[in-house]
Chains A and B, each alone.
Chain A
Amino acid sequence: MSRARLRPAAGGSAAPAAEPPRAARPRRDLRRPLVLTGLVALVGGLFLATIAAGSVTIPVPEVVAVLLGRPPEVPAWGTIVTDVRLPRATTALLAGAALGVGGLQMQTLFRNPLADPFILGISAGASLGVAFVVLLVGTAGTSLVAGLGPLGNVGVAGAAAVGAGVTIAAVLLVSRRVTSPATVLIIGLMAGYATSAVVSVLIHTGIGRLERIRAYIAWGFGSFAGTTWSELAVLAPCVAAGLVLAGAMTKQLNALLLGDRYAASMGLRVRRARLLVIAGASLLAGATTAFCGPIAFVGVAAPHMARGLLRTSDHRVLVGASGLAGAVVALVAGLVAQVPGSDATLPLNAVTSLIGAPVVVAILLRMRRAGQGVTA
């Protein structure tokens, strides 16, 4: 009804003689499928490489054989692949996708190209939740959730998600009063300091047992190797739910690109959308942090990679592409951290920081040059 009303009759157009209608979506048609296919292939290759590489190198055909359920040449490889390497690779894949998509959501929500779970202190909030559960509830053992009983994984993940959600809400409240992206960064840093202060109080007063504290500190370095199938049973559904939520919110996220007021004027219920985005991002960041530790910079780098490759801000492709780009970054970082061919390992956060810190600096420099490209 409204459509017929508004458009002028064929003859009288408000425009100078209309050009012949062109194809609705020119040019970009090829780039998107190419980039997305390339990313999927890259993720697949890196996934196999992650399983193949390690202290014992397993040939890729054998890895494929094990994954397809056939017996490998060396029987021990079967156990290594299914019990150690497959969970590790799956964790890296899920964590990377979660951080990439979570970072994209936060960059749009905060209208800040530097927003990411780690930078904004969301990971720190999640850490605090983990610290409370691990240091106060845990009993004995050196693995993070040892002695927490069968519900330990869920408890840790839940505490991390709550910690993440509370921090996002707090940072969002403050960031609505300041406009500069750099100031929001500093606020995120402060949130991080505050949470580590609470953790150090917990540790210093001797509330936690020594081995719990050691487990907590080791967890803080970040790792994809600490998860087994029982942890994945919690991590995977959380990440899946968060990704589905993000995928269902692409329309709202696109509207938020223009800012809250424009979004509201086009019919978006901004409060509800913001709440859903916060819930989804908390779930993604919280679950990942709970099982892999606070992982730096994957969340900020992945969306920028996706935008750079696709040359678009359209969330209908960016959500998928950011997830894939995040998985690529996480798998590469995981591979490097395992130092293939040796028994040594590097702290995961050291690797991601070395990749991510230059990205952040590059974004800051570009922002200075081109005004403030919030989402560029």
Chain B
Amino acid sequence: MSVLAVAEHRRGELRDVSLELLTAGRELADDLDGELHAAVVGGDVDAFGEKLNREGVDAVHTVDAGEEFNHDVYTQVVAQLAEELSPSVVLMPNTVDGMDYAPAVASRLDRPLVTDAVALDTDDGLTVTRELYGSKVETTIDVHAERAAVTLRPSEWPTAEGVGDATIEAFDATIDESAVRSTVTGFEEVGGGDVDITDADVLVSVGRGIEEEENLDMIFDLADALGATVSGSRPLIDNGWLAKDRQVGQSGKVVTPDVYIAIGISGAVQHVAGMKGSDTIVAINTDPNAPIFDIADYGIQDDLFDVIPALIEEFGG
């Protein structure tokens, strides 16, 4: 009973999540007493194939198909590979590109799909653990099927290390070009602006708990008093209250300041992806169950509208 892990790359780089999938895949394959296969589709497949040959990988399948990700190509190729190898589980990343092809692969193969897994277990058939309600609760899902597809949340498993002795082979997929009805015409970096939040030693970061745009004045006052820079979570950028270059998170910037003060931010996984590497994390939030407290070093479980003015006062603002 083998496992197939599908790698991800973008603009010439193999993404870390690929190696995380190998770790999870090896654990699963051990449980199932089977082989771990890895696949990479498109890009510099030879170089990527070498990189995927980590300890515990039995075979790497390379598919020379275009430079960049295209979901129509991926869906066809991964479905063909799965039909050829018949793995018990197809593992794909729960990334933006993963979200763009994994559901189609599962549906085409008639396999049940569980997305955004944070843990896997095979004691009694496959059980997938995932989070609900913005990470406030966890749930387990039993998969009553011989074969399944699962997408894994990034950064939950360590990357696979070492060099393996996998066979690296080209897989000859047949691509029906008439079914490729989308084209990636380019990439664009967004942001610009005049603030570089990745450069700041101290970030005062504000979330939806601030409620109104006018209340942001208080946050800028605090940042002034502390000599800090203001950043924010996605809703503030979506609302147009802060410029895009101040967004922290998966689709914004990854920051690692000495001190990160999260004010009225719940700590959604896509936000945490951008700030968990900060030296000291302080969270101010009325909800003691907010997931931000799981990664905070210091916390105040109180109303920001009381705490922030008091803090400004402390610094003589």
Instruction: Answer yes or no: do A and B interact.
Output: no
